[in-house]
A and B are shown apart, each in its own frame.
Chain A
């Protein structure tokens, strides 16, 4: 089945530094990838939608200059949290949609727990 590999699974960084999270589709081509943020005991909030080769579409209230998304290939999308602050600490999850869109839906990565100290 479709697999999405997300790395790292957890990361601790100092305030003011940048962190990059990678999301790879291992056995399918992902034309569209989605990035979510999840606070403890809460639901997933969509941050942005990225399409291969084009700029990401950000949801209202999400700072595009702070959360940089790159979708340079059909198998890789990255989320970079720039100048991270403690309030950026959260669980980030990516999701990819198959190019063929077999209605299998959306395959999720295993998530990245970001802690900013």
Chain B
């Protein structure tokens, strides 16, 4: 069974500072990995995805993530936080050889300090 663990349910950073949201995965096969962002009372928007191509993945809004097999990690980063980045972020994993349903982490709420 596959799973993801997001360390830190709440992360606060100052505006302009580095954003680092952690995600570790557990999967018996090389997984597909996703980061989604959710604003209050809205659905999920895809930030970026890893599907066994380049290990450094660039997404929208200046976010990127690096797939590290040795560390089983897929941490999300952004060099400079903006107030509009305040939201809930979910890491998700999909087994490409299975039924392809997504398994989500518990989420990290990002707060930006002015």
Contact = CB atoms under 8 A, between A and B. Distances in A.
Contact of B101 (A6, A34, A41, A43): A34
Which secondary structure characterizes the binding site on chain B? strand
A110 B49 contact: no
A42 B107 contact: yes
A103 B104 contact: no
11 contacts: A32-B100, A43-B90, A44-B104, A97-B100, A104-B46, A104-B49, A105-B94, A106-B34, A108-B43, A110-B42, A110-B43
Contacts of B106: 42-43
Contact of A105 (B34, B41, B105, B109): B34
Residue of A42, A43, A49, A107 most packed against chain B (CB within 10 A): A43
Contact of B43 (A43, A93, A103): A93
A15 to B, nearest CB: 23
Interface of B: 32, 34, 36, 41-46, 49, 51, 90, 94, 99-107, 109
Interface string A24-49: 00000000101000000111101001
A43 B46 contact: no
Contacts of B100: 32, 97
Given A108-B44, A111-B43, A43 B107 contact: yes
Nearest to A48: B101
A93 B103 CA distance: 14
A95 interface: yes
A107 B43 CA distance: 9
